[in-house]
Amino acid sequence: MAETARCPRIVIVGGGAGGLELATRLGDKLGKKNKAEVILVDAQRTHIWKPLLHQLAAGSYDSHAEEIEYLAQARWHHFRFRQGKLVGLDRTACEILIAPLLDSSGREIIAAQRLAYDYLVLAVGSQTNDFGTPGVQEHAICLDSPTAARHFHERLIDACLRAQNLPVEAGKGRMTVAIIGAGATGVELAAELHAAAHVLTSFGLEHINPDTELKIVLVEASPRILAALPERLSNAAAVELRKLAVEIHSNERVVEVSESGVMMSSGKFIPSTLTVWAAGIKAADGLHEIGGMETNRLNQIVVDTTMRSSGDERIFAFGDCAACPNGAGGWVPARAQVAHQQVGVLAANIERAIAGKPLKAFHFEDYGSLVSLASYSSVGSLMGSLSKGSLFVEGQVAKLMYWSLHKQHQMALSGFFRTMLITLSEWLDRVHRPKIKLH
C-alpha cells in the first residue's frame, strides 16, 4: 500500500500581535484544508493586544470582557493550541523544548515536552530593557505583560485608597506616580492615569484629585518626549500633557530607583509612590543564541528581509523578537503595525517554502504614528499612501484612527462581522459598567 504523505507541521511560538494573526491566517488557509498542521504555543492562556496594556494598567480597559481565549480561537480557525513556555531549541532534531506547565501552587499540569516542527516561527515579542539600572527590578513595575499591567493596577488602587486617608503635605500632594521613559508607552500611560484618577475622584476618592493631589511625573533621557517621532508631534503631546499638569523632566537620565523614588544623574531626586519603567525594550534573555542561532545585542533573532533566520532555512522570526532589515541599512521598528504587516508576507513565504518556491521580501510601509492621550485627545502623523509626505493629525480624527488600529487587529483575528458584534458589545458594556475597574 502506498504511504500517504504527511502534511508539514508549522509551529508558531508566541500568540501576540503578530503570532496570533499568523496562526489564524495559516489555520484558515492551510489547516482547514489539511495542507498543513498549524500549532500555536504561548506561555499564556489568553491574548491581549499589547498596545492596550497602559489602559489595562490604568483600569480603563476590562481585559476579562475582551481578551481572546487561545483554545477557542484555535477551534474556530483550524489550528491547535499548546500552552507552555519555550525554553530551548534542538535544531538537529527539529524540536522545540517547552517548560513544564505549573499551576499557581507550583504543581505540574503538563510535563516538560519536546515538540517537533517542519517549519518554526518565533514570535515571542519583547520585554522591558532596564539597561541594568539599579533598583528597577525591585522597585519599579515594567509595563510589558498583562500580568505586570494588572499588578500595576492593583497597586494603583491600593495606593489611591491609602492616599485618600493621608494628610496632604503643602505643595506636595498625596501621591506621585513616576513614569520613566517618555516614548509612546510612557506618554499614553501618563494621560490614561490622569483620566483614571478623575473617574476615581468621582467615585468618592476625592482626595486623589489629579489636578491637585495626584502628581504624575514623566522622566526622559532625550531632550524631548516621543523622541523617535516627529518634533511637531512631540510638541503637541507635551502641550496636551502640560494642560493635564503632568510634570515633564527631559534630558534626565535615571541612575537608580529606590522604594522612595527616582534618582537622576543630575543629582535630582523625585519622590514617588509608584514607579513605572517604560524606557526601552529587548527580546527575552532566553532567546540569546537559542539553539545556536544568530542574535543581536538585544537578543533578537537575526533574519533576512524574507523573515527567514540567518542560519536555518526552516526557522522564521518576526515582530519584536526579530531583527529584520528595512532595506535601507537599518531595521524595521518594534511596533504592532510592523508585526501586522509582516503576517501577510510571512504566511505567503511559508507556503512558498513548503512548495519549494523562492521567498518574497518584506517592505515595511510606515503609515505613521499615533499616540493616544486617553479620552482627552490623540496626536499623530500619517505617512505613506495615506498622505503625501507627512500629515499631522490631532484630536477626534487622530482618536478615531488610533481606535481603528485595534479594530484592524480584531478584524484579522475575527473577521468583519464578529468584529462589529464585539464593538457593539463593548459599547453596551460601557453603558452599565463604571468607566474604571475599581478593584
Ligand X SMILES: Cc1cc2nc3c(=O)[nH]c(=O)nc-3n(C[C@H](O)[C@H](O)[C@H](O)COP(=O)(O)OP(=O)(O)OC[C@H]3O[C@@H](n4cnc5c(N)ncnc54)[C@H](O)[C@@H]3O)c2cc1C
**Which residues are near ligand X by CB under 6 A?**
13-19, 41-44, 50-51, 53-54, 85-86, 123-125, 143-144, 184-185, 284, 319-321, 334-337, 339
3-state secondary structure 20-74: HHHHHHHHHHHHCCCCCEEEEEECCCEECCHHHHHHHHHCCCCHHHHCEEHHHHH
User: Counting Cβ atoms within 10 Å, is residue 356 exposed (0-12), middle (13-18) or buried (19+)?
Assistant: exposed
Given the complex with ligand X, which of 41 and 193 has the nearer CB atom? 41
Least Cα distance to 349 among 361, 336, 335, 337 occurs for 361
Give 201 or 341: the residue with its C-beta nearer to ligand X: 341
Min dist CB 337 to ligand X, Å, is 4
Distance, CA of 238 to CA of 360 (rounded, Å)? 41
Count of other CB atoms within 10 angstroms of residue 276: 27
Nearer to ligand X, 176 or 341 (CB): 341
Q: Tell me phi and psi for residue 377, to 5 degrees.
A: -170, 180
Q: How far is the CB of 355 from ligand X (least distance, A)?
A: 26
Closer residue to ligand X in complex, CB, 184/205: 184
**Least separation in angstroms between CB 252 and ligand X:** 21
85 or 253: CB nearest ligand X: 85
Compare residues 210 and 319 and give the one whose CB is closer to ligand X. 319
| Beta-bridge partner residues of 11 | 39, 120
Q: What is the nearest approach in angstroms of ligand X to the Cβ of residue 416?
A: 22
Least Å distance, CB 78 to ligand X, is 20
- Residue 335 C-beta: closest distance to ligand X, Å: 3
Shortest distance in whole angstroms from residue 38 CB to ligand X: 16
Q: How far is the CB of 194 from ligand X (least distance, A)?
A: 16
CB nearer ligand X, residue 176 or residue 337: 337
Q: Which residue of this chain has its Cβ atom nearest to ligand X in the complex?
A: 16
C-alpha cell at 240: 496636551
Closer to ligand X by CB, 123 or 270: give it. 123
